[in-house]
Structure formats: C-alpha cells, structure tokens
Amino acid sequence: MSSDGSLLTPVCLVTGASSGIGAELARVFAAEGHRVVLTARHEHALNTVADGIAVSGAPRPQVIAADLAAADGIERLARALAAAGLEPAYLVNNAGFGLVGDAALIDRNEQLRIVDLNNRALTDLTLRFLDSITRHKGGILNVASIAAFLPGPGMAVYHASKAYVLSLSEALHEELKEDGVRVCALCPGPSPATSFFRRAGLPADYFPAVLMRDAASIARAGYDGFMGGHRVVVPGKPSRIVTLLPRLLPRWLVRGFGGWRWRRKRRALM
Ligand SMILES: NC(=O)c1ccc[n+]([C@@H]2O[C@H](COP(=O)([O-])OP(=O)(O)OC[C@H]3O[C@@H](n4cnc5c(N)ncnc54)[C@H](OP(=O)(O)O)[C@@H]3O)[C@@H](O)[C@H]2O)c1
C-alpha cells in the first residue's frame, strides 16, 4: 500500500520511451529514483531501453506497448497499468511526431494522426491520471518544442499541435500549483539524431546547427527544470533566443519570415 492509502504503486509513466528524448527522459527519471513505466508502439525497442536502465542499477522499468494514436490505445494502456497494480504519480507526455511539407499536399490522415498523438493522447492521459498525480503531489512533464512559439509554414499542423501543448501546460501549471503538482512544458530545439527527423522527412541540416542539441542533455535540462518547479524549459541559449523573438517582434513579421524560409526550403527539398 502506498503512503496515501492507495493500493496501487505510484510510478512515472513515460510515453514515447522507445527512442530519442523519451528514452533519455526515462533514463534520467530512473536514475533519480523514480519507478518508471515505458510505453510506445515497439515493444522490442522498449525492452532494450528497460534492459539498459536495469543494467545501470535502477529497477527494471515495466514495459507496456500501446499505439496512443489509436482509438483504444490509451484505454488499453490504462487497463494494463491498473492490472499491474500501478498508477502514475508522474506523467511524461513525450510521444509525438511531425511532418514536413505543404499541408495541402501531405496525406490528411497522417496529419490528423499528429493531432491524435501530440494533442488528443496527451490530453487524455493528463485528464485520466490527474487524480492519482494530484494525490501523490507528483507532476506532468509535457514535451512541446520551440515550434510551439511560432506558426510554422512547411510544418503547419506540427507547430499548431505544439502551441496547444504549451498553452495547456501553462494553464495547468497555474491551476495545479496550489495542490503541489508540477506542470512543465519542455520545449527543445532540433535534435537530429533521434527518429524525429526521419519520420518527419527532414534533412539533418534543415535547422541551423547552433540550435542542435543531443537528446540526453535535453532530458537532463527537462528533468531539472521540471523538478525545480519551472513552467517552461527551453534547453540552450540559442533556442531561448528563438522563443523570445516571436514574443518581441510583430506577428506579421514572424509569420512572413516563416513563409519566406519555407519557400526557400521547399525548393531545396524537391
Ligand atoms: N527531435 C527533435 O528535433 C525534437 C525537437 C523538439 C521537440 N521534439 C519532440 O520530442 C518528442 C520526442 O521526439 P524524438 O525527437 O525523441 O523523436 P523519436 O525518436 O521519433 O521518438 C518518438 C517516440 O514516440 C513514440 N511514438 C510515435 N508514434 C507513437 C504512437 N502512435 N503511439 C505511441 N508512441 C508513439 C515512438 O515510439 P514507437 O515508434 O515505438 O511508437 C518514440 O518512442 C516529440 O514529442 C517531438 O515532437 C523533438
């Protein structure tokens, strides 16, 4: 029985933990003493991450394979957690993806899947587990992006999806802080060594090199900022400047620059 009388064991649930930033976040949470549960679609990759965490000396994380963009994916994940006697005290909403191209040309269902995963699944998990997170005075770390701060011609749905994540996180931060619950949006700049670039169709040099950071340092900055009670964490000074400019400059200029850049990039991608 946990300290608050619940029969379920409190855990940190990390989505998108089979690779990239999510796998690194799982490693950091485990190293900091949290009991971690890993979820993503690919069970084999999840088990590889779990084995690595066990080798490092932390308890081996539980692995639950689920497609969070599928209609029944979250329900199945929640049932598997409860059946294992576990409930989230911490939730790391990291699973997400983007696609590059004109919105009119990218497959509509693929673009809707961005919303299903980046927004619908993140919101469902957040609302579904708010009760246990609040009881344990835990928290929610949502992985957004520097894309959250500006409209993104060429990645329109992705940028909009991350703006939603940032807005939701900031509002929940305010709503829940008096209950002792942390809510933080981690907003990384580009990290081309993860699978994100490949799935999005982005070449490795799509963004300026000065913005690039490795997934491990993003995860460490995210964990420290989250535990430190920060509302938003943007790892790296160059990325922080990118997020500051859209708040200082007029919207028409930010939007116009994005459109101009996309028209140049689009030619290079074709
Ligand atoms: N890399 C970057 O440049 C960058 C920059 C800013 C923000 N981000 C954000 O960081 C987060 C992690 O991205 P990453 O760079 O680490 O990319 P990644 O290596 O592609 O990781 C994405 C994770 O999400 C999981 N996932 C994808 N579709 C899923 C689905 N339908 N159901 C459940 N899990 C699913 C993937 O695992 P499976 O394939 O096994 O399902 C994987 O574990 C994303 O939210 C992304 O938007 C990335």
Q: Where are the domains of the chain?
A: 9-269
Average pLDDT, the chain: 96
| Cβ of 223 below 6 Å from ligand 1 | no
Query: Which residue, among 92, 177, 90, has the nearest Cα to 132 in the 3D structure?
Result: 90
Residues 6+ apart with CB under 8 A from 58: 30, 31, 33, 36
Q: 162 CA to middle of ligand 1, Å?
A: 13
Catalytic residue among 90, 158, 206, 223: 158
Q: 201 CA to middle of ligand 1, Å?
A: 14
**Residue 5 pLDDT level (bands cut at 50, 70, 90):** low
| 158 carries an active-site annotation | yes
Q: What is the mean pLDDT of residues 239-263?
A: 96
| Cβ of 190 below 6 Å from ligand 1 | yes
Contact present, 138 and 89 (Cβ < 8 Å): yes
| Cβ of 119 below 6 Å from ligand 1 | no
Q: What is the mean pLDDT of residues 141-161?
A: 98
Share of the chain above pLDDT 70, in %: 98
The pLDDT assigned to 48 comes to 98
The pLDDT assigned to 4 comes to 58
The pLDDT assigned to 183 comes to 98
Residues 6+ apart with CB under 8 A from 178: none
For residue 269, pLDDT over 90 is answered with no
For residue 154, pLDDT over 60 is answered with yes
Share of the chain above pLDDT 90, in %: 95
Q: Which helix (H) or strand (E) holds 217?
A: helix 215-227
At 30 the three-state DSSP class reads helix
Q: 244 CA to middle of ligand 1, Å?
A: 25
For residue 2, pLDDT over 80 is answered with no
Here the tokens at position 201 are 């169709």
113-130: b (≥16 Cβ within 10 Å) or e: bbbbbbbbbbebbbebbb
- Nearest ligand 1 atom to the CA of 69 is 31
Contact present, 53 and 60 (Cβ < 8 Å): yes
Full-model pTM = 0.97
Q: What is the mean pLDDT of residues 123-135?
A: 98
The CATH number of 9-269, from 3.40.50.1100, 3.20.20.100, 3.30.300.30, 3.40.50.720, is 3.40.50.720
- Nearest ligand 1 atom to the CA of 199 is 20
Q: 195 CA to middle of ligand 1, Å?
A: 7
For residue 245, pLDDT over 90 is answered with yes
Provide the 8-state DSSP code for 119. Answer: I
